[in-house]
A and B are shown apart, each in its own frame.
Chain A
Amino acid sequence: GDSVTQMEGPVTLSEEAFLTINCTYTATGYPSLFWYVQYPGEGLQLLLKATKADDKGSNKGFEATYRKETTSFHLEKGSVQVSDSAVYFCALSRNTGGFKTIFGAGTRLFVKA
């Protein structure tokens, strides 16, 4: 079945450091790929998405490129801030009689001042 694997956390970085959170997926067909962010005590917020191969999703300085050849959708940000501290979920969605979203385990990011 479909699955999403993302790097284990927590990831601890200093402010202004470069961030990469790896994500790979397994799915038949052509899923849409997403990154969601969850701040402490809150629900999910869509951070960015890509719906087809080679698409690059970007938002708030974060970006990720849909790589079909490597089945990856790694999240990157050039300079993190303390306010980026949160849990990041990689996810895929495919129409299987409804757009079920399959989530990765989540990666907790701590950014130190």
Chain B
Amino acid sequence: GAVVSQHPSWVICKSGTSVKIECRSLDFQATTMFWYRQFPKQSLMLMATSNEGSKATYEQGVEKDKFLINHASLTLSTLTVTSAHPEDSSFYICSASRTVDTEAFFGQGTRLTVV
């Protein structure tokens, strides 16, 4: 199989703090990982693409200094929401693919609530 796991599944944090979300490929090595954001009752919007060992590529309108992405190994990518505010509350989902030209598999998502 191809299992992608996110941690935590949900997190509540205070406004102004930073939160780190992990995305792990459990049974395969992922050259490329993607991060998506889903607002309530809306579709998923791609935030950024990360390739192992290089800087992430952010989609237009996504603040790279606010949403820090690190893909330091072939099985782990992290998304850090810095100085979180209530408007950052959302459902964040990652996906991972073995190589640049193979299908991506999705994690179960992380629900972030900033209070």
Are A and B subunits of one complex? yes
Q: For the side of the interface on B, what is the size category?
A: 20 to 34
Residues 98-111 of chain B: 1 if any A CB is under 8 Å from the residue's CB, otherwise 0?
Answer: 00111111111101
B103 CB contact (under 8 Å) in A32, A44, A104, A105: A32
Assess whether B97 is in contact with A99, with CB atoms less than 8 Å apart.
Answer: yes
Q: Which of B67-103 contact A (CB under 8 A)?
A: 93, 95, 97, 100-103
Residue of A nearest to B10 (CB): A41
Nearest residue, chain A, Cβ from B96: A99
What's the minimum C-beta distance from B33 to chain A, rounded to whole angstroms?
9
A-contact 0/1 string along B50-63, CB 8 Å cutoff: 01000000000000
With A44-B93, A106-B42 in contact, is A99–B103 under 8 Å at CB?
yes
A-side interface mostly: strand
Q: Are A99 and B104 in contact (CB under 8 A)?
A: yes
A60 on the interface (CB 8 Å rule)? no
Contact count band on A: 20 to 34
- A93 lies within 8 A of B103 (CB): yes
CB B52 to nearest CB in A, in angstroms, measures 12
**Contact of A66 with B by CB under 8 A:** no
CB-contacts of B15-41 with A (<8 A): 32, 34, 41
B residues less than 8 Å from A32 (CB atoms): 103
CA distance A99 to B108 in the complex (A): 18
Instruction: Tell whether A89 pairs with B44 under 8 Å between CB atoms, given A95-B101, A99-B32, A101-B95.
Output: yes
| A17: interface (CB < 8 Å) | no
A42 within 8 A of B: yes
CA distance A49 to B103 in the complex (A): 11
Q: Name 9 extra pairs, CB < 8 A, besides A44-B106, A99-B32, A101-B46.
A: A42-B108, A43-B93, A46-B105, A97-B100, A98-B32, A98-B49, A99-B104, A101-B44, A106-B41
- On A, residues with C-beta under 8 Å from B are 32, 36, 41-44, 46, 49, 89, 93, 95, 97-106, 108
Could you list some 8 contacts between A and B, CB below 8 A?
A42-B108, A44-B44, A46-B106, A89-B43, A93-B104, A99-B104, A101-B46, A106-B42
